[in-house]
Amino acid sequence: MSGWVCLLAELGKKQITARRRARDRVATISINTAGAAVIGLLMLMLAFLIYVSLPLGAEFSIGAPRTLALDDQQHFAVRAEDASLWRLEVPQGSGDVDRASEAREQERPLGIWTHGDLALQLYPHRLEVFELAGMAELERGDAVYQARWQTSLALPGLTTASLGVDGTNSRLLLAYYDEGGDLHALSFARGSPGTTLQRWTLSNPAVKSRSLLLDASLQRVLAVHEDRYLLWQIPEDKKGTNPLVSGGQFAGLGRGEGVHAWGPSRETLLIGRGTRLHRFDALRPGFPRLGPPLNLDEEAQWIARELNRRVTYALAPSGAVSVLVPTTGQLLYQGALLRETQTEGVDGISSTRPTRLTLSGDAHYLYELRRESLTHWPIRSGSPETRWRSLWTPQWYAAYDEASHVWHPDGKAIGVLSKFALSPLLYGTFKAALYGMVLAVPLALGAAIYTGYFLSPRRRDQIKPALELLEAFPTVVLGFIAGLWLAPLMLDYLVLFLVLPILLIGLPLVFAGLHLSLQLLSPRFQRRPPRIWILVFAYLALGVWLAANVNNLESWLFPDTVGNWLWQHFGLRYEQRNALLVGLAMGIAITPSMFSIVEDAIHAVPRNLSDGALALGATRWQSLARVVLPAASPALLAAVLIGFARGLGETMIVLLATGNTPLMQADPFSGLRSLSASIAVELPEAAVGGVHFRLLFAAALLLFVLTFLMNTIAEGFRQRLRYAYATR
C-alpha cells in the first residue's frame, strides 16, 4: 500500500514540475517578446527620425543639360518658376490685337522676360506686356500659352543694356538709361497699367552707371558704379511726389568694375570684384558690409541668387559655375557648364552667342536662352542651408551687427528669409538642464543620504514614499505655477532670491560656528549639543523678516532697483521668464527620481560595512564618507546622469516658464529655447516635407541620441554597483 502511495506522489510531483516548467517557459517567452518589442519600437523610432532627417544632407548637383530647338518665326519666353518654354500666341479677332500681331511679325524682340502670369517683350523704344491666359501642350512637352496683349509702353531713348525689370504680384517696376544719360523709372499696378502708370526722370550726376538693380517690393532703384551708389526710393501711388535720393560709398570695396546683384530675398547686395564676392546689408541705410569677402577660384562675370534660400551662383569666363552659401562661405558645387560667355546685355536677350545664365524662380533649373535654342540644366539641391557649418557656426545675416547664431524658422511671415541654426536650441537645452541640476543635485543627494543612512526605519518608510510620490506630479502644472505665480513673485522679491543662495550656503557654517562657540563657552554643550530645530526656527524667522522688509533691503543694498543695477554694472537684462525660474521648477521635477535612485543605493549598501567601520572607532560621518558613499558612488553618478537626461527632455516646464527666445547667453536672468519646446510648438505649423519640418525631426533625433546615451551610461554604472554587491 505504501508503495502505491509513493508512486502516486512521485507522479504528482512530476506533473507539478511539468506545469511549472511550462509556465516558466511561457513567462520567459512573453518577457523576451515584450523586451524585443520595446527594443524594436525604439529602433523603428530611430529609423523613422533618420529617414525624415536624411534629405537634409543631400548633396548639391547639377544634372545633364537638355537643349530645345526654337522656331525662329515664333516668340518665346522662359517661365521663371520651372524653366519651361513659353510660346506666346496672340488670338485673332480684335483690331488692336491684330495690329500688335502684325507689328510683332515684322519686328523681332530684343528681349523677353516673365513675371508670374505676365510676359514682357522688349522692342526698340517700347515694351509690350502680355497677360497669359490658356495653356496647351506641345508634342515635345513644352507649354504653349495663349496670351492677350495688354499694353505697349513707350521707352524713348532706351539703351538696351541698361533696362531693368522687376515685379511682384501687384506691381511692375522698370528703369532704364536713355541716350543722354538720364534715368527713367516706370511703375504701374498689375491689371490696369494705363490708368496707374507713373513715370519719373531721374538725373544721375554722381554715379554714371549702366548697371541697375530694381526692387519692386520696396519700390527702389539702385545704380552702382565702382565703389559708389545712388538709391532712388520710388513713392507708391503718390503722383507728383519726387523719389527720395540717397547716395554713398561702399566701405572697403575700392575702385574698379565688377558685377552686381541682389542677394536672396533682396536682403543683401552682392558685388563681385575679380575673384572676391562682397556682401552688403541692403536692409539698413548706407549698405554696411557683412563680414569679410568670399574668395572664388575664378573671376565672376555673372551672379545670380535663389529667391527663397541663401544660395548664390557665380559664372566665370571659362564657363565654370560656382555655387556657394554666402553666409558661411561653403562651396556647394563647382563645374564647367558653358564654353563661352557674354557679359554684355541683359538676361533673356536673344543672340547667336550664349547669354548669361538665368536661374528659375524655384531654383530647380539653370537655363541659357539663345535665338535658336534653349538649354536648361536640372538642379538637385537638397537643402543647402542645413549643412553642418550652417547649423552650428555663427553666420552674418542682414540687419545684424555681427555674426550670430539665429533660429528664426518663420521668416516668411514677416517678409524675410528664415534662419536655421540648431546651436541656440541645443545651448538652451543644456542651459535649462544645468540650472535644474544646480537645485536638484544638492536637494536630492542630501535628502537621499539623510533618509537612507541617518533616519530610523520607521521614519524612512514614511518619508520615502511621500518624496517619490512627487514624481507623479504633472510637469505641466509645475510649469504653469512657475510661469504664472512664481515669475511675478520672483520679480517682486528679486533681492531675496539673490540672497537666498548665500543664506543656504551659510546655514551649515552658522550651525558649525555656533556649535563650536557653545562648546568653548561651556563643557556642558560638549555632552549635550543644542537641538537643531531651535537654530532652524531662528533661521526661518530671519528669512521671514527679510521677506517682509525686502523693499527696505533693496534700497539699502542698491542705489536703484536691482534690475537696473544688474544692467548698469554687469550688462545683464532681467527677464521675467528666465533660466533661474526654469531651474527652480525643473529642479523640483528632477529631484524625486534622483532621490529614489540614490536612497535605494545607500540603503542597499551592506550594513556590516558601516557597522565594521563604527566598531573600529569611526564616527557615523566618517563611516558615511569613507565607506557608504564610495560603495554607492556608481548609483550617485547614475542618478546625476539620469536627472540630467530628464532635464534635457523636459518640455512643458521649459515651454511655460521661459520666454522661448533662442538666445545663447549663460546668465541666469535671460530666456532660452530648448529642442523639445521647439518641437512641441513648431511641428504642428511646419509644412510637411519642408526644411523646417525635417530640421525639427533632426532636432528630435539629436535629443533622442543624447538621452539614450546618458541613460545607457547611467544604467552601466548601476549594473556595476549591482555586480559589486553580488560579489561581496
Most confidently modeled range among 236-240, 331-335, 510-514: 331-335
**pTM of the shown model:** 0.81
pLDDT at 55 over 60: yes
Over the Cα atoms of the chain, what is R_g?
A: 37
- pLDDT at residue 352, as a whole number: 33
pLDDT at 664 over 70: yes
What's at 139, amino acid-wise? Answer: E
74, 124 in Cβ contact below 8 A? no
- pLDDT at residue 617, as a whole number: 80
The DSSP code for 576 is: S
**Which residues contact residue 218 at a Cβ distance below 8 angstroms, ignoring those fewer than 6 apart?**
233, 266
**Which residues contact residue 166 at a Cβ distance below 8 angstroms, ignoring those fewer than 6 apart?**
115, 172, 173, 214, 215, 216
Q: Which long-range contacts (CB under 8 A, 24 or more apart) does 25-28 make?
A: none
Q: For the chain, list the domains and their CATH numbers.
A: 155-249 (no CATH), 255-337 (2.40.10), 426-491+576-726 (1.10.3720.10)
Looking at the DSSP bridge assignments, the partners of residue 323 are 313, 333
Q: How confident is the model at residue 195 (pLDDT cuts 50, 70, 90)?
A: low
From CA 608, how far away is CA 627, in angstroms rounded?
A: 11
pLDDT at 521 over 60: yes
- pLDDT at residue 91, as a whole number: 42
pLDDT at 175 over 50: yes
Hey, what's the torsion of the CAs at 702, 708, 710, 712, to 10 degrees?
-150
- Measured between alpha carbons, how far apart are the two ends of the chain, in Å? 51
Q: Of residues 395 and 252, which shows the higher confidence score? A: 395
Give the rounded percent of residues in the chain with a pLDDT score beyond 70: 72
- pLDDT at residue 430, as a whole number: 93
pLDDT at 625 over 90: no
**Closest of 296, 298, 297 to residue 278, by C-alpha:** 296
From CA 98, how far away is CA 120, in angstroms rounded?
A: 18
What mean pLDDT is predicted for residues 213-221? 81
- pLDDT at residue 437, as a whole number: 92
From CA 535, how far away is CA 512, in angstroms rounded?
A: 11
